[in-house]
Amino acid sequence: MKGDTGAARSALAVIQASWNASARNWNAQALTAVYTEDALFFGGRPGHAIGASGIHDYFASYEGVIESATLDLVEQHFIALADDCFLAQGFGEFLFMLSDGRESRSRLRTTLLIARHRGEWKIRQHHFSASPASPPI
């Protein structure tokens, strides 16, 4: 894959499809399976989720709040780190269907480290954050 953004784009599409299939009916276990067992994760709640257990707890914390979600990874740029590993950075556009029937949308900055793990593409590092309104100085 070194230097092949088409291969990285295809692998990221697989990740996005897996994430969306798992979030269609919010499923913490299925969402966790999109990540490696040792993944590092900064999401939309305070704290740092480390490993499958921490990531599962993060997704489970939204049970009863989120019914379903979709994620569209857009404006992504890639750096190949090895044949089986790359960095993707851009934006994630979320559509959430909440348990009270409301719809919510958000657009976050995204950085993902994607690696082939046991023959499948998985997220090894996930960092999503809001764009700051002003510099943090």
pLDDT > 60? residue 117: yes
Give the span between the Cα atoms of 38 and 122, in whole angstroms. Answer: 11
CATH number at residue 90: 3.10.450.50
- The pLDDT assigned to 136 comes to 86
Query: Is 54 part of a structural domain of the chain?
Result: yes
What Cα–Cα distance (Å) separates residue 4 from each residue in 10, 26, 91? 10, 33, 20
Query: Is 37 part of a structural domain of the chain?
Result: yes
Full domain range(s) for residue 117: 5-129
Q: What is the CA radius of gyration of the chain?
A: 15
Please tell me the pTM assigned to this model. 0.93
pLDDT band at 2 (very low <50, low <70, confident <90, very high): low
Q: Domain tally for the chain?
A: 1
Partners of residue 9 on adjacent β-strands: none
Query: Is 27 part of a structural domain of the chain?
Result: yes
Is the model more confident about 2 or about 68?
68
Query: Is 136 part of a structural domain of the chain?
Result: no
